[in-house]
Amino acid sequence: MVDRAFIRQLQGYGLTIAEIHYYRPDAPSLLQLFVWQEYDLAPDFPVLFEFLDHWRSEIDAALHSVRIAHDQLIRPSEWRAVNGVISID
């Protein structure tokens, strides 16, 4: 069984981390932080925006700001198929 995250990376997805700052209605003077991490496609970030749409419709907290960090962990220059066996004695 192959890891879902590894398959996503081979499909061009990279690790995306979002810092989501928000206010709750019961404490409007307190800015809170939620950290979200998932594999997503830059620069459109469809997975992140789907999550933020869910947040706006289902979670009773007002978004203040979102800060995004993204990196493709596997790049064409770093990963290649190798046909051979390496022996370590």
pLDDT single digits (tens) 60-85: 999 999 999 998 776 665 556 666 66
Residue found under tokens 């081979």 = 10
Which pLDDT band holds residue 7 (cuts at 50, 70, 90)?
Answer: confident
> What would the DSSP string read from start to end of the chain?
---HHHHHHHTT-EEEEEEEEEEETTEEEEEEEEEEEEEE-TTT-HHHHHHHHHHHHH-S-EEEEEEEEEE-SS-TTT-----S-----
pLDDT single digits (tens) 22-38: 999 999 899 999 999 99
